[in-house]
Structure 1
């Protein structure tokens, strides 16, 4: 059997970028991702208040949450493609301004219909931030850190969810739910003003700027085909989306679960849910670091770990929701959530490896599309409908089973990864040779 070395990790785009500046870029981009998810998840902390004030069903509440993920799923690809072509930093700034203003609109909503429109606009603003933001992050660090950086960056969504639910629950309990939305909006506007002042397009991509002429033809012909040209990259999209069905659903419905079955107020339910989400965010980072370490000379091991994360979270969460309400159940939920989203780092690394650097924003947009359409949008909505029929506690017992399907998809990916990497590199060499021959004839 052939030995596969570190060159199976793809092209290194960080050459010429000082490491200190790279970490500054990461910190600011990570901060805006936190703002993104604070604005998105603060809604979950005020579910009980909105349900009582406007007499809403669980299906309506799930739709208020799901519409953001739906818009992210529908718009992430075209908006990310535009950002790849016309400037990632400018695009990220405009996105942050839009979702922050829309969150302010949530604070001013006087009816369910107005809240729905505001949440729709939050989804439009947030649509491409995750994909374009992670493309910026992976471009400024060495390729050997891709799983770590992917997991760490995506964990910003978890930490933002923690802050959104904890602070949102506290503010809603003491100041009213409108102030919860307003606080998230002001934080986002502050960071959106600071971001373009420090992070500059010309500084994050010196190699790309220097090679612009030689890359022009490739940006039109070969790179976009790498988004869907291999079975492995398609499996990465699907497996990641299916697994996030589980983690995303638990995050959205956990405050309501604690409110109904543990008789917690919005502040205590938000704080407890925040601890559970924090476990998931920490797990993203740890699982990403473990994937990079064990996969240093064997990238396919990252896929094996993704399979392990899926099956492990299925076992722990299934046991947790089968237990009676109490401390033991909450501990098992925390442990299950540590590894439930651990596939984010390996999946992000595989997508970066299997696609061309010039379209990484669009590649991560495709990953985001799968994450939202298969997981983050579908999970809360389906669980809300099932909850209306059999109760939220019974619905939660079914959710972890989706991880078995995710593990199966990653297993399929593992069988084809090395062949697809070899085909990707060989295809690039062959295409370059054809183009060179054509230029010679001309």
Structure 2
């Protein structure tokens, strides 16, 4: 009789329990993260009417979050590496939830703008923290699957936010909608701090520590220093990740910000049809995230190097998302357009999962969150630009097709840059400033 494979000695019940708790908290907080982002878009007409805001004012409010989120990435990654995921996840979640609740109390544009900026700052630690948790609590062969699970919270939150928030808004009003979701976030922040632990706060055995670090090619260093953080920018791997993620998030935010309007204006669909059909691509995004993370682990277990098991799925899926976006622009068929957009979202979230999985294998543990935040900074520069650039192109041309083609071209170019620029991990010995200024990998 064939014997079932036994788990590695260091993968104890305590490790498994901690992994499950960590993933549950990351998915829950990630879903809340994306629900909170959507509150302004869902309540847009009612807020404009009550506060007397113009469409231009609403555009500024929508962009306030994105710019604050993007530029907060750089310092927040270093803070996560310095103080640990437990504190930074709880503080970030608590801060953005209070900012969300404050949105239900505002009375003018200035107050709302400040609340949205604070929301962006508070949400900034979420994904760098998740990348560090993957590195801290999962073996290198399992980090891709873990990343795919917590990364799917972004598209899952986007998929459920519109019906959930619309329900709340219709029954309790937009102000209470903001207050209720803010209160839920504060409760989850308290829960996260109470039940999650950093590895340094747990008396791990030698076998458990060996299991968690097995297969790492980067080595270990002490607590992150400012000099080490700055030196990350001297490595080509950092720039390849930053440029590649710019293309990913630019493409996804074309759809996140403009898909309903595209279906109504370009495809002449009714509001009722849009409400149903616009949710389909996000469902494909959930599947793409889960499969993308799993794919990296399958490749790694079959002997593909940790870097290549992430790099090639990311580059190929991003290029595929660009191609599908171009096909959506060119096809005259509404059904095919939905199919191509769904394929683009599926591949786009394969790309996000594999890109975040890259973070956990290319740098020493003490700068995992910092590198992830740098990648996310590049991504959300694209995310902040995509809604504006798309709007300007549509206004000038009278069609979404040129805007989609611009996004498609950027995706393909960034995919090529990702594949060409990234080569090797960043070892601890090269990160140490004492190593000098030898050519960076």
Report the TM-score, using the length of structure 1 for normalisation.
0.81
Q: CA RMSD in A?
A: 3.3
Shift in alpha-carbon separation, 1:179–1:430, aligned structure 2, 3 A: closer
Cα deviations by residue, 1:310-344 (Å, 9 ceiling, x for unpaired): 22112222222333473332222112211123212
CA distance 1:29–1:252, change in 2 (3 Å)? same
Please give the alpha-carbon distance, in whole angstroms, between the structure 1 residues aligned to 2:105 and 2:296: 44
Please say if 1:400 is aligned against 2:408: yes
Distance 2:315 2:91 in 1: 37
Alignment TM-score, normalising by the size of structure 2: 0.81
Are the structure 2 counterparts of residues 431 and 191 from structure 1 closer, same or farther at C-alpha, using a change threshold of 3 Å?
same
- Residue 120 of structure 1 deviates from its aligned partner by 1.0
Distance, in Å, in 1 between the alignment partners of 2:358 and 2:346 is 21
1:111 and 2:108 aligned: yes
| Equivalent-residue separation in structure 1 for 2:359 and 2:134 (angstroms) | 14
What is the CA-CA distance between 1:175 and the residue it aligns to? 4.7
- Shift of the 87–135 alpha-carbon distance from structure 1 to 2, 3 Å rule, reads closer
Shift of 1:294: 2.5
Partner residue in 2 for 1:73: 70
- Distance in 2, matches of 1:281 and 1:290, equals 14
Give me the whole-angstrom Cα distance separating, in 2, the residues matched to 1:208 and 1:99.
36
Any unmatched runs of 5+ in structure 2? 1-9, 211-218, 436-441
Name whichever of 216-225 and 69-78 sits farther off: 216-225
Do 1:222 and 1:428's aligned partners in 2 also have CA atoms closer than 8 Å?
no
Please give the alpha-carbon distance, in whole angstroms, between the structure 2 residues aligned to 1:181 and 1:428.
44
1:298 aligns with 2:307: no
> Equivalent of 1:288, from 293, 308, 316?
293
Once residues 251 and 59 of structure 2 are traced to their aligned partners in structure 1, the CA distance between those partners, rounded to angstroms, is 15
Residues of 1 paired with 2:28 and 2:77: CA distance?
19
Equivalent position SS for 1:342? helix
1:338 aligns with 2:346: yes
| Alpha-carbon spacing, 1:376–1:383, altered in 2? closer, same or farther (3 Å) | same
Q: Find the counterpart in structure 1 of residue 165 from structure 2.
A: 168
Gaps of 5+ in 1: 1-12, 433-442
Cα shift at 1:111 = 3.3
Of residues 272-281 and 199-208 in structure 1, the stretch that sits farther from structure 2 once superposed is 199-208
The C-alpha deviation readout for 1:97-143, integer Å capped at 9, x for no partner, is 11111111222333333322211111111122221232123311111
Q: Secondary structure at the match of 1:18?
A: helix
CA distance in 1, matches of 2:123, 2:258: 21
Shift of 1:156: 1.1
Structure 1 stretch displaced more, 43-52 or 379-388? 43-52
For the Cα contact (< 8 Å) 2:220–2:364, is it kept in 1? no
Q: How does 1:23-172 map to 2 (within 5 A)?
A: 23-50=20-47, 54=52, 56-57=54-55, 60-172=57-169
Equivalent residue for 1:7? Answer: none
Q: Greater share of helix residues, 1 or 2?
A: 1
Q: Name which of 267, 273, 277 aligns with 2:278.
A: 273
Aligned to 1:264: 271
- CA offset at residue 403 of structure 1? 0.8
Q: Is the alpha carbon distance of 1:155 and 1:402 closer, same or farther for their aligned partners in structure 2, counting shifts above 3 Å?
A: same
> CA 1:182 to 1:384, structure 2 compared with 1: closer, same or farther past 3 Å?
farther
Q: Does the C-alpha gap of structure 1 residues 15 and 86 become closer, same or farther in structure 2, counting only changes over 3 Å?
A: farther
Work out whether 1:351 is the aligned partner of 2:372.
no
Could you tell which deviates more after superposition, 222-231 or 17-26?
Answer: 222-231
1:409 and 2:417 matched: yes
Shift of 1:71: 1.2
Q: 1:350 to 1:100 in 2, by over 3 A?
A: same
Change (3 A) 1:208 1:159: farther
Which stretch of structure 1 is more off in the superposition, 327-336 or 200-209? 200-209
Moved more, 386-395 or 115-124: 386-395
CA shift for structure 1 position 216: 7.2
C-alpha distance in structure 2 between counterparts of 1:392 and 1:176, whole Å: 35
Aligned CA distance change for structure 1 residues 229 and 119 (closer, same or farther; 3 Å): same
Contact between 1:15 and 1:207, CA under 8 Å: does it hold in 2?
no
Corresponding residue number in structure 1 for 2:391? 384
- Does structure 1 retain, via aligned residues, the 8 Å contact 2:292–2:350? yes
Give the Cα–Cα distance (whole angstroms) in 1 for the partners of residues 49 and 370 of structure 2. 41
Aligned length: 409
Distance across 2 between alignment mates of 1:184 and 1:341: 26
Please show how residues 207-222 of structure 1 align to structure 2 within 5 Å.
217=222, 219-220=224-225
Per-residue deviation, residues 394-421 of structure 1 (Å, max 9, x unmatched): 434533222111112122135xx1xx33
